[in-house]
């Protein structure tokens, strides 16, 4: 079993890092040199200071240019007025003939056609309205004009209100949760930014994770689910009232959980089950209500088959209830029992709740946005069963090399390898659905979100498989590589798919499009931000693991990480700003905007009592 | 086949059944079996009342977000404990109370050091309190949060008060005396209680896997230098108190730079201090028996003291490993008498 990492291999790693990641040269050297003399530019304080210095310098340069321009204009004006005085003096010296000649010259120069030389004085017949409806106020096209959402009939306004509330509160939790995440990320660079107990790192970290899990992702999923489940069943939702109840309960759970965690009330430190049971119970009841509602809707469906989306969605809600019960029932949680259940819970939460539900949503929204059916129904079903079979096994891969039984660790690793089957079949299915419709991507503002989601569904999930093997676990476990991985998946897959779904249906529900330019800003900032967030953490995490394996002092691996943590904070800031933009887009889609249509308004005014013209019109 | 799945009851019950069955197999049954078939080692001491309170604070403040409590059976984890953690180490963990679950606190992130054996590695209460008040006062590069709210400011010390000797640079305008609250003392009591229990004589510890290639193979076999890095060993075992500069911290930890004990031609006292601790000078905190706790070998002790004797302007003769071994044997004998 003994495995010896060849020395030259770890050297090779270092060489690769040194050459490819020369953006952070000092960081790469920090591990071989002892202390002190690592480059000045790797120090976060220096980098922040430089950035802060650059801001006023740029502002100063801008002001300087404005000032110089004004000065130049001033001089030019003075010159011109001198020139004018000289010209006036010259004109005074001219005799009458010369002046007349000049006047004639001006008349000749000013002559132009009156545009009616060919048509004559009559206005043209325009029976098809081709000439009178020319839009002369077209915007300058900085961005590609995207296809607008087609309004679909038959959406119950009451259901639409419920969905919008789900999505609206989800947006709130996204902004709140990632604000906390951003702040927590800053604490890696500036640990003394505050020293308040309620805001300390250990308390805020679970606030962040739980808010984006149960607040943002879960509420957004359920909201989008309330659209899909009745639609593919070709029937109204069973009960709107219970939908409102689950909305209220889940929101209450996240509000109370957040306050409790900040106050220091924590269930036991196990990730994602930090809420104590009375609080998580509210979430659980919300899920049970939703399950009954979805099931009753599916039971009364008007279609013979149950569309594959509803396989995934209803199963995800059932499984989430099972997972919560297993996680909170106290009968088998003593000693290592707690750890085994923890491994099971945290990974089933991710894979059987978020991933399964979101895949169900994609099976509906992706074909809808491409306006063609899903490539293969059977592949979707294969992915469904294999996901259940393999994903359930992989929980304990978070505790490889720990004291839990070796055989259980092996089962988890084998299960992780088996995940290739559902991931590859799912990805193939989605990509093949795009076949022949790639041209639609450029004209759509939702499809790019789905493409990013599909790419990370493939890479992020397989990265998880790669991390589970014993040889890689050795290097990556306990490092920030895991943090990068969880963001690639929960953000790159889940959040991007949810955004795609939200941009797909909200304009259909409200008949209001988001501004395309801000959707573009949201997409690119979120995407680029995530790259800045995850890539440095993956490099840094790998280097950290290698340093540990070489037996270097632990604190050296902390100083080595500093620039990578700074990059993470920068990427996190981009992501965070993109969420503000997304919230603005939600506002623009939901809030009715009053635009004055001159014609309609004029007619309305004519009909009001202030105008006596009404009688004239009526006659 | 598709007809079967067109019945929503059959479809969802099949999926649920498969999921629940697998859940029972990979989670519930192993959990029950581990809960029932492990008991704590006979040498393990149960947590004191203070340590239990401290553990609750450890959970409440989310320390597990950055600190693991598990020594994996990997060679790289040797620095965190003398043996890999085993199921029995956690067998004692019970449900906290009606509201809160068991806190095994194994953790999944190691942003900070592992704490499974920190009670042996860093048992000094003085160090722990100062470190909690402001980690950067003792470890300049640390990014751990500071916990000043576990301390209070007092004009005069009262009986039983434990004052924390915070260096001026980190007092941030606090004029009075900085005193540890009950919470801080409880938390430190918990940290001090985190020790790997001794295995019964009959039981062999699990092996550390994935062994690192010995550096010794690279040396030419001069016999004198086994390739142990004294600076690294110093950083791992001594530096958090005596600092990288060897100057210690005024009022808390004595300097090694220019120290008579360190520079003495006869290294007996120095080795005694390293192995068995020291508490002779009231102006400084007491030093724990680091060498014995960490089971340092003669080669490691030699590397550490030779690093101390030749750094920061210190220059004393190099002590060969054989001499260290001899003194260590003598110390052991005198301790047994």
CA-closest candidate to residue A582, choices A254, A150, A247, A178: A178
Q: Is residue A258 part of a domain?
A: yes
Residue A447 phi, psi dihedral angles, 5° rounding: -60, -35
CB A180 within 8 A of CB A211: yes
Overall size of chain B counted in residues: 337
Residue B153 phi, psi dihedral angles, 5° rounding: -100, 130
- Do B314 and B271 lie in a common domain? yes
Whole-angstrom Cα distance, residue B79 to residue A506?
A: 55
CA distance A563 to chain B (A): 13
- Size of chain A, expressed as the number of residues it contains: 619
Among B10, B5, B12, which Cα is nearest to A303's? Answer: B5
Closest-CA residue of B relative to A333 is B102
Domain stops at, among B172, B193, B214: B193
**Cα–Cα dist B59/B47, whole Å:** 15
ipTM: 0.87
List the beta strands (DSSP E) in A297-430: none
Among candidates A352, A236, A358, which has minimal Cα distance to A301?
A236
More confident site: A439 or B66: B66
What does each C-alpha distance from A318 to A222, A299, A349, A380, B9 come to in angstroms?
13, 15, 12, 19, 13
Best interface-test mutation with A: which of B3, B6, B9, B34 has the largest number of A CBs within 10 A? B34
Whether the CB-CB separation of B68 and A554 falls below 8 Å is answered with no
Closest CA to B59 of B89, B35, B93, B85: B93
Q: Tell me if B143 and A188 make a contact (CB, 8 A cut-off).
A: yes
The encoded tokens of residue A187 equal: 């604490």
Within a domain: residue A7? no
pLDDT tens, B104-139? Answer: 999 999 999 999 999 988 888 989 999 999 999 999
The DSSP call for residue B258 is T
Instruction: Please check whether residues B189 and B233 belong to one and the same domain.
Output: no
Q: Considering the domain boundaries, does residue B211 fall inside one?
A: no
* Among the listed residues B195, B192, B313, B291, the one whose alpha carbon sits nearest the alpha carbon of residue B236: B291
Which one of B6, B30, B232 has the shortest CB-CB distance to A305? Answer: B6
- What's the gap in Å between the CA of A537 and the closest CA on chain B? 12
Phi, psi for B109 (deg, rounded to 5): -130, 140
| Main-chain phi, psi angles of A332, to 5 degrees | -135, 45
Claim to verify: residue B238 and residue B148 sit in the same structural domain: no
Residue A390 domain flag:
yes
Nearest residue, CB atoms, B59 vs list A269, A393, A551: A269
Minimal CA–CA distance to A337: which of A289, A562, A387, A345? Answer: A345
Residue B75 DSSP class: G
Q: Residue B210 class from Cβ within 10 Å (0-12 exposed, 13-18 middle, 19+ buried)?
A: buried
Domain that holds residue B186: 49-193
pLDDT classification of B214: cutoffs 50, 70, 90: low
Which of B7, B36, B101 is the mutation pick for testing A, counting most A CBs within 10 A?
A: B101
CA–chain centroid gap for B138, Å, is: 15
The answer to whether A427 and A458 are in contact (CB under 8 A) is: yes
Q: Which of residues 481-520 of A touch B (CB under 8 A)?
A: 482-483
Tokens 């659980």 -> residue: A284
Q: Coil, helix or strand for B178? A: strand
User: Can you tell me the distance from the alpha carbon of A554 to that of B115, in angstroms, rounded to the nearest whole number?
Assistant: 13
Domain count, chain B: 2
The verdict on residue B40 lying in a domain is no
CA neighbor of B77 nearest in space, from B190, B234, B205, B200: B205
Residue B178's DSSP bridge partners are B153
> Which residues of B fall within a CB distance of 8 Å from A340?
27, 30-31, 34
Which pair of structure tokens corresponds to residue B65?
A: 């977000």
Q: Is residue B34 part of a domain?
A: no
Task: Say if residue B236 is in the same domain as residue B328.
Answer: yes
Parent domain of A445: 157-518
pLDDT tens by residue, A197-234 = 999 999 999 999 999 999 999 999 999 999 999 999 99
pLDDT surpasses 90 at B24: yes
In this prediction, residue A361 carries a pLDDT of: 97
Which pair of tokens denotes residue A168? 């609206």
Beta bridge partners of A93: none
Structural domain contains residue B15: no
* Distances, alpha carbon B79 to alpha carbons B24, B74, B199, in Å: 37, 10, 18
3-state class percentages of chain A: helix first, strand second, coil last, to nearest 5: 75, 0, 25
Residue B108 lies in a domain: yes
Using CA atoms, how far apart are residues B26 and A340, in angstroms rounded to an integer? 9
Minimum mean pLDDT among A297-311, A422-436, B167-181, B219-233: which range? B219-233
- Number of Cβ within 10 Å of residue A481's Cβ equals 23
Q: How far apart are CA A40 and CA A26, in angstroms?
A: 8
Cα–Cα nearest to A217, from A430, A614, A487: A487
Residues of chain B positioned with their CB less than 8 A from the CB of A266: 59-60, 62, 100
Q: Which residue intervals of A435-549 are DSSP H helices?
A: 439-442, 447-468, 470-476, 481-489, 496-510, 516-549
Q: Are residues B188 and B237 in the same domain?
A: no
The ranges of chain A with pLDDT < 50 are 1-38, 40, 43, 45-46, 614, 619
Cα B125 off chain centre by? 13
Domain assignment of residue A573, yes or no: no
- Does residue B187 sit in the same domain as residue B241? no
Predicted pLDDT at A11: 46
B277/chain A closest Cα distance in angstroms: 22
Number of domains observed in the structure of chain A: 1
Residue B217 has pLDDT above 70, yes or no: no
Indicate the DSSP class of residue A478: B
- Is A276 in Cβ contact with B235 (below 8 Å)? no
Residue B180 three-state SS: strand
Query: What average pLDDT score do residues B218-227 get?
Result: 46
pLDDT at residue number A384: 96
How many other β-carbons are positioned within 10 Å of the β-carbon of residue A19?
9
**Cross-chain residue pair A319–B60, CB shorter than 8 Å:** no
The count of other CB atoms within 10 Å of the CB of residue A414 is 14
Tell me how close the Cα of A503 comes to any Cα of chain B, in angstroms.
30
B20 to each of A215, A272, A602, B26, B35, how far by Cα in Å?
A: 26, 21, 66, 10, 20
CA-CA distance, A162 to A247, in Å (whole number)? 8
**CATH number of the domain where residue A445 is located:** 1.20.210.10
- The answer as to whether B163 is a domain residue is yes
B182 plus B244 within the same structural domain: no
The SS3 call for residue A121 is: coil
- Residue A1 belongs to a domain: no
Asked, for residue A288, whether it belongs to a domain, the answer is yes
Cβ pair B135, B144 in contact under 8 A: yes
Q: Is the CB of A268 inside 8 Å of chain B's CB atoms?
A: yes
Q: Are B74 and B180 members of one domain? A: yes
- How many Cβ pairs within 8 Å bridge chains A and B? 281
Find chain A residues with C-beta within 8 A of B61's C-beta. 197, 200, 202-203, 264
Q: Please indicate whether residue B100 or residue A14 has the higher confidence score (pLDDT).
A: B100
Per-residue pLDDT tens over the stretch A285-308: 999 999 999 999 999 999 999 999
> Is position B278 within any domain?
yes
Using alpha carbons only, what angle is made at residue A403 by residues A397 and A408, rounded to the nearest 5 degrees? 45
Q: In CATH, what number is assigned to the domain containing residue B259?
A: 1.10.760.10
Query: How far apart are the C-alpha atoms of A420 and A416, rounded to whole Å?
Result: 8
Among A3, A13, A12, A6, residue whose Cα is nearest residue A543: A13
Q: Are residues B135 and B267 in the same domain?
A: no
Q: In sequence order, which ranges of chain B are alpha helices (DSSP H)?
A: 2-6, 8-23, 29-36, 49-60, 87-90, 118-121, 125-133, 135-138, 182-193, 230-237, 239-242, 260-263, 268-276, 290-293, 298-310, 321-336
Round to whole Å and give the CA distance between A613 and B213. 99
- Which of A455-459, B15-19, B315-319 is least confident? B315-319
Dihedral sign of CA atoms B198, B199, B204, B206 in order: negative
């Amino acid at each position: 079993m003994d495995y010896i990492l060849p020395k030259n291999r770890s050297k090779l790693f270092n060489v690769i890092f040194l050459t490819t990641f020369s953006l952070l040269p000092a960081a790469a050297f920090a591990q071989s040199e002892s202390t002190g003399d690592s480059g000045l530019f790797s120090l976060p304080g220096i980098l922040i200071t430089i950035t802060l210095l650059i801001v006023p310098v740029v502002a100063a340069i801008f002001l300087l240019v404005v000032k110089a321009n004004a000065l130049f204009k001033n001089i030019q004006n003075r010159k011109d007025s001198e020139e004018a005085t000289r010209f006036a003096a010259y004109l005074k010296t001219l005799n009458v003939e010369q002046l007349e000649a000049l006047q004639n010259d001006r008349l000749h120069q000013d002559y132009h056609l009156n545009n009616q030389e060919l048509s004559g004085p009559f206005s043209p017949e325009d029976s098809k309205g081709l000439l009178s409806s020319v839009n002369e106020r077209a915007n300058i096209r900085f961005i590609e004009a995207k296809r607008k959402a087609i309004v679909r009939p038959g959406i119950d306004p009451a259901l639409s209100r419920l969905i919008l509330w789900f999505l609206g509160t989800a947006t709130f939790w996204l902004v709140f949760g990632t604000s906390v995440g951003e702040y927590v990320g800053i604490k890696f660079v500036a640990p003394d930014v505050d020293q308040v107990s309620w805001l300390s790192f250990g308390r805020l970290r679970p606030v962040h994770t739980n808010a984006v899990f149960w607040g943002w992702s879960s509420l957004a999923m359920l909201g989008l689910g309330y659209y899909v489940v009745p639609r593919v069943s070709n029937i109204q939702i069973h009960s709107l009232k219970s939908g409102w109840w689950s909305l209220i309960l889940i929101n209450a759970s996240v509000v109370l959980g957040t306050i409790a965690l900040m106050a220091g009330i924590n269930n036991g430190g196990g990730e994602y089950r930090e809420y104590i049971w009375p609080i998580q119970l509210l979430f659980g009841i919300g899920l049970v209500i939703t399950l009954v509602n979805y099931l009753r809707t599916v039971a009364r469906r008007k279609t013979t088959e149950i569309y594959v989306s509803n396989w995934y969605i209803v199963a995800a809600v059932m499984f989430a209830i099972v997972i919560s019960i297993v996680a909170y029932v106290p009968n088998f949680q003593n000693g290592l029992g707690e750890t085994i259940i923890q491994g099971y819970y945290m990974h089933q939460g991710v894979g059987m709740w978020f991933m399964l539900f979101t895949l169900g949503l994609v099976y509906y929204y992706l074909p809808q946005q491409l306006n063609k059916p899903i490539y293969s129904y059977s592949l979707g079903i294969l992915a469904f069963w294999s996901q259940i079979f393999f994903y359930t096994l992989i929980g304990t891969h978070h505790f490889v090399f720990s004291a839990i039984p070796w055989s259980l660790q092996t089962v988890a690793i084998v299960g992780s390898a088996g995940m290739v089957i559902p991931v590859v079949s799912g990805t193939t299915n989605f990509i093949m659905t795009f076949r022949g419709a790639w041209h639609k991507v450029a004209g759509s503002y939702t499809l790019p979100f789905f493409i990013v989601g599909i790419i990370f569904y493939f890479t992020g999930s397989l990265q998880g498989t790669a991390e589970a093997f014993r040889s890689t676990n050795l290097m990556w476990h306990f490092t920030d590589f895991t943090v990068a991985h969880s963001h690639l998946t929960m953000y790159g897959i889940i959040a991007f798919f949810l955004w795609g779904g939200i941009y797909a249906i909200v304009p259909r529900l409200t008949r209001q499009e988001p501004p395309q330019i801000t959707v573009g800003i949201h997409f690119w900032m979120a995407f680029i931000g995530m790259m800045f967030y995850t890539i440095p953490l993956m490099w840094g995490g790998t280097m950290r693991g290698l340093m540990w394996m070489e037996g270097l002092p632990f604190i050296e691996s902390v100083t080595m990480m500093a620039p990578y943590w700074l990059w993470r904070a920068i990427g996190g800031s981009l992501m965070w700003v993109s969420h503000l933009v997304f919230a603005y887009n939600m506002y623009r889609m939901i809030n009715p905007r009053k635009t004055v249509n001159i014609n309609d308004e004029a007619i309305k005014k004519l009909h009001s009592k202030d105008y006596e013209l009404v009688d004239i019109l009526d006659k | 086949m598709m007809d079967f799945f067109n019945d929503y009851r059959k479809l969802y019950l099949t999926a649920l059944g498969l999921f629940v069955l697998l859940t029972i197999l990979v989670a519930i049954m192993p959990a029950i079996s581990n809960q029932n078939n492990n008991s704590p080692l006979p040498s393990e001491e149960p947590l004191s009342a203070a340590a239990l309170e401290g553990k609750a604070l450890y959970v409440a403040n989310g320390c597990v977000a950055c600190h693991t409590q598990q020594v994996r059976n990997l060679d790289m984890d040797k620095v965190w404990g003398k043996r890999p953690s085993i199921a029995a180490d956690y067998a004692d963990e019970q449900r906290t109370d009606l509201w809160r679950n068991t806190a095994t606190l194994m953790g999944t992130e190691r942003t900070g050091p592992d704490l499974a054996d920190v009670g042996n590695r860093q048992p000094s209460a003085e160090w722990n309190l100062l470190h909690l008040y402001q980690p950067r006062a003792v470890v300049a590069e640390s990014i751990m949060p500071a916990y000043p709210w576990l301390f209070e400011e007092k004009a005069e010390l009262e009986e039983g008060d434990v004052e924390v000797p915070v260096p001026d640079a980190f007092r941030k305008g606090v004029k009075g005396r900085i005193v540890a609250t009950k919470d801080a003392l409880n938390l430190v009591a918990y940290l001090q209680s985190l020790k790997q229990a001794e295995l019964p004589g009959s039981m062999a510890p699990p092996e550390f896997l994935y062994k690192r290639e010995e550096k010794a193979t690279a040396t030419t076999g001069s016999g004198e230098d086994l390739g142990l890095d004294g600076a690294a060993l110093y950083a791992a075992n001594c530096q958090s108190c005596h600092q990288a500069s060897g100057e210690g911290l005024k009022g808390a930890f004595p300097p090694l730079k220019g120290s008579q004990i360190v520079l003495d031609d006869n290294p007996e006292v120095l080795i005694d201090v390293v192995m068995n601790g020291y508490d002779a000078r009231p102006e400084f905190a007491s030093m724990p028996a680091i060498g014995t706790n960490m089971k340092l070998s003669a080669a490691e002790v030699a590397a550490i003291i030779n690093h101390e004797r030749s750094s920061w302007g210190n220059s004393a003769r190099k002590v060969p490993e054989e001499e260290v071994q001899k003194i260590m044997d003598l110390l052991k004998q005198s301790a047994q008498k």
